[in-house]
Amino acid sequence: MYLNEFAPTSEPFDMTTTDEFASLVASAADLGVSHGPEIRYTSRHVIARHRRFHFLEWGEPANHTILLLHGGNQSAHSWDLVSLHLADRFHVLGLDQRGHGDSEWARDADYSSTAMAADAAAFLDALDVGQVTIVGHSMGGMNTMRLMLDQPERADRVILVDIGPEMSETGAKTIRNFVTEHREFDDLDHFVDVVQKYDPYRSREHIERTVKYNLLQRADGKYVSKRDHGPRLSTTQEHRTRHDRFQLDDAPKMTMPTLLIRGADSNILTAQAAQRFADALPAGQLVTVPDAGHNVHGQNTPGFIQAVTPFLVQALH
């Protein structure tokens, strides 16, 4: 049983009529995140590469498009507060990537960056999107980097959120262990307790408001995370060649303006690794957001918005 609402058919579904939207607006007020008085916000599905993808569409299609790619074990809803703020000036597309959120899972178990980057390109083709800014966090950032190597013409500018070619193995292991050890729950309060210990930056109330996007209820009554935990390609298979894994010496190939956002308390991207990456990018810049760890846009949303807005506004000129 799904705990959240999304388009039940192939037709767009107006999310502004739901209690979920009212809850989002309340969170924005709590955090001081501004937004326009009239918001266009729909849930939609599209078929691309023989798979069904769910996505959230914000703002008017005539405006400059921003594609948001979420991190692992998350969904497009992780960007809701950011999307709400941007919807009065931009056309924002939040994609549930394969095996995550309300999109179809990969029957071939391929969750490599190459496959997911190809998904993003096919998604943009399906919607006939031309000029676009791509924003990718963590896994979504890895997919963005892969896409920029394979099809650099896809984006006029890029924002990478707390990700780079040099990641802390200790931090990555912490995340993997958290995901592996917390796949199912007897009740929602248990999930909120676990997340609150793992993520001290967000209030319990805010976590409770977003829990519905991360879990679904199985027929046996258990609550499970909304991502494919089935068999995957092995690490050896995924990274058997350098083609799939972005390296630091690939950075000069990313010639488009690129903004690298790092959480000041990140356990994934060290300050030194972030600076090396930014320096290696031909048109790169680094901004560190205080009071945030790896999930920068969710842990300090106002700080994240302040960091990215000048860069995004440049796309309008």
240, pLDDT greater than 50: no
pTM: 0.95
- pLDDT computed for residue 293 by the predictor: 97
142, pLDDT greater than 70: yes
Two tokens at 305? 């918005």
pLDDT band with cut points at 50, 70 and 90 for residue 135 = very high
236, pLDDT greater than 50: no
- pLDDT computed for residue 243 by the predictor: 58
**Alpha helices, DSSP H, located in the chain:** 19-31, 80-86, 113-126, 139-150, 169-181, 188-198, 204-210, 235-238, 271-280, 296-299, 301-313
Beta bridge partners of 132: 65
The CA distances from residue 58 to 43, 93, 161, 164, 171, in Å, are 9, 6, 20, 28, 33
For the residues 228-243, what does the mean pLDDT come to? 56
pLDDT band with cut points at 50, 70 and 90 for residue 179 = confident
**Residue of 234 and 280 predicted with greater confidence:** 280
pLDDT tens digits, 186-200: 999 999 999 998 899
pLDDT band with cut points at 50, 70 and 90 for residue 172 = confident
pLDDT band with cut points at 50, 70 and 90 for residue 181 = confident
Residue type, 131: Q
In CATH, the number for domain 13-126+138-150+164-254 is 3.40.50.1820
- pLDDT computed for residue 237 by the predictor: 47
* Cα 146 from Cα 59, distance rounded (Å): 27
Q: Which residues contact 312 (CB under 8 A, 6 or more apart)?
A: 66, 86, 90, 133, 159
DSSP secondary structure letter of residue 306: H
Two tokens at 41? 């916000």
242, pLDDT greater than 70: no
Sheet with 91-95, edge to edge strand ranges: 13-14, 41-48, 51-58, 91-95, 65-69, 132-137, 157-161, 258-263, 284-289
Residue 31 contacts residue 81 (beta carbons within 8 Å): yes
Lowest-confidence region among 17-31, 92-106, 160-174, 284-298: 160-174
